Amino acid sequence: MNAPESLPDAATLRAMKAQGRKLVMLTSYDASLTVHCENAGVDVLLVGDSLGMVIQGHDTTLPVTIEHMIYHCACVARARRRALLAVDMPYRSYETPEQAVANARRLLEEGGADMVKLEGGSAILPRLEALRDAGIRVCGHLGLLPQSVEELGGYKVQGRSSEDAERILADARALEAAGVEMIVLECIPAALGRRISESLAIPTIGIGAGPDCDGQVLVSYDLLGLTPGRRPRFSHDFLSEQPPGRGIADAIHAYVLAVREGRFPGPEHSFE
């Protein structure tokens, strides 16, 4: 594994937010794509359980196992040089505090990750606190939760009612208090994304959560126009915009610049 000499700690991530420096996150599942992400200046590599859909061909992320995540995380870790490496804990891999810690340790020790990402709010606080107490860095995930898509009734925007918005905001504050270092906000109204971001000292990473989050994340296959069929509204094909003779590396670089300069996401990628 190629661990960088130094990685941004929680205090550094908070300082980046305070300075208004946008964090750029992108999914990667293999060594080759990781090299391009590193060269483009991506801050956080996310080995997402989205691999279940874009690589394995499933309709949801639910069939992905901890062994799948370890394998792909290790592939990324071998090529990673400087970016923070986060990895999703897959469905049913953190049902108890003990299971969460055991599987997170596998992702760090066997997969080479620096941080694990869990979906959920106040209901998973005991698991988050156990990870914190074990010295394991955590990224949260609120809003649309792909691992709970069946309970949510499909891939729908969350937090549109005042009651749901308040619940998501309360969950974000609870996650911050539990030691989570950053939170991915998926498919929520832009106004709620701004409100949550302004309420926290830790960075928010948006995906369909408006332009006012402290950073952005995309599924790399969406960014490169590889995902078949209809892609989410919040995605953008940066590769198709490249002039002749340019390719994947240029598309990733364009994404990084667009996020850093506040040009992505635009209104067309956001929800009201």
Tell me if residue 268 is catalytic: no
Half-sphere exposure of 215 (CA within 13 A, CB side): 25
Catalytic residue among 186, 241, 261, 268: 186
Q: How many Å apart are CA 102 and CA 79, to the nearest integer?
A: 25
Residue pointed to by tokens 């305070």? 18
Tally Cβ neighbours within 10 Å of residue 16.
18
CA–CA distance, 251 with 17 (Å, rounded to integer): 25
Q: Which residue numbers are catalytic? A: 186
